[in-house]
């Protein structure tokens, strides 16, 4: 058993989404004092090239910077690495192969949470970047659970998702919330019983407009935070036996 757990967060994609994960780690931990919270180190370096543009063939690959971040976190002897960015998981195989510490897979963790919902939804809407949707990670995992998916149209991605996502990256969270809530409402109207907020900017946008659709949503970043807390609690139980 390792001497202790130390979680590494490979962030910066974007900076607010990274802070959001850290906040959720604190909220998810039922700590009564400082010393009971998760030990975390964070690589919050936003100069990593744009993931969406890279996968659209319009920008440089973020892989070298991501590999550098993984290397730096491993030098700190982290026990696990969490990446609060769905689209960055396009490079998950290369990052996992280069890392001594296991890298937690955001999509697997979110799908596991959906599998344990009672009642399990029959139709789920996915809000994500075009690259994440084209990769099919969520669709494949939900199909394996017998769940139908409802996806944004190309026009909705172009006119609602992309401007909504980049509004949050500019700090215009209210505008982002208005656009992304409109997209979410369209998916609900097409029959989605639950929404997967498969881009880490979306919860920030929803919070800015106090969206009532938060209650009908699965937030992969919060699922990731809860998973880290569960690992820490399990480690602490074993350490005290």
Instruction: Tell me, yes or no, if 85 is annotated catalytic.
Output: yes
Alpha-carbon 42 to chain mean position:
15
How many Cβ atoms are within 10 Å of 131's Cβ, its own excluded?
18
Given the DSSP bridges, would you call strands 7-10 and 40-43 parallel, antiparallel or unpaired? parallel
Residue 148 CB partners (closer than 8 Å, separation 6+): 122, 123, 124, 142
CA 231 – CA 210 distance, rounded (Å):
31
CA 219 – CA 202 distance, rounded (Å):
9
Instruction: Tell me, yes or no, if 165 is annotated catalytic.
Output: no
Which runs of consecutive H residues, i.e. helices, occur in 84-192?
Answer: 92-98, 106-115, 130-135, 137-144, 154-156, 162-169, 173-189
Nearest to 74 by CA among 38, 98, 91: 98
Asked if 38 and 232 count as a contact pair (C-beta separation under 8 A), the reply is: yes
Whether omega for the bond prior to residue 194 falls within 30 degrees of 0, making it cis, is no
Among residues 165, 199, 228, 234, the one annotated as catalytic is 199
Element (H, E) at 24: helix 15-28
Among residues 85, 165, 228, 234, the one annotated as catalytic is 85
**Residues labelled catalytic:** 85, 199
């Amino acid at each position: 058993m390792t001497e202790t757990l130390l979680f590494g967060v490979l962030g910066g994609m974007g900076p607010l989404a990274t802070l959001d994960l850290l906040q959720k780690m604190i909220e998810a931990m039922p700590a009564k004092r400082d010393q009971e919270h998760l030990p975390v180190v964070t690589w919050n370096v936003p100069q990593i090239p744009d993931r969406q543009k890279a996968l659209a063939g319009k920008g440089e690959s973020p892989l070298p910077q991501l590999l550098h971040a993984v290397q730096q976190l491993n030098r700190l002897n982290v026990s696990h690495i969490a990446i609060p960015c769905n689209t960055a998981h396009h490079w998950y195989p290369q990052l996992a192969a280069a890392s001594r510490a296991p890298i937690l897979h955001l999509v697997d963790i979110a799908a596991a949470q959906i599998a344990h919902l009672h009642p399990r939804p029959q139709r789920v809407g996915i809000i994500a970047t075009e690259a994440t949707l084209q990769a099919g990670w969520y669709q494949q995992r939900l199909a394996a659970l017998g769940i139908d998916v409802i996806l944004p149209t190309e026009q909705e991605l172009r006119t609602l998702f992309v401007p909504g996502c980049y509004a949050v990256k500019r700090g215009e969270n209210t505008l982002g919330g208005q656009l992304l809530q409109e997209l979410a409402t369209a998916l609900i109207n097409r029959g989605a019983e639950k929404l997967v907020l498969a881009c880490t900017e979306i919860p920030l946008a929803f919070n800015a407009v106090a969206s009532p659709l938060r209650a009908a949503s699965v937030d992969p970043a919060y699922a990731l935070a809860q998973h880290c807390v569960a690992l820490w609690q399990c480690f602490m139980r074993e350490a005290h036996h």
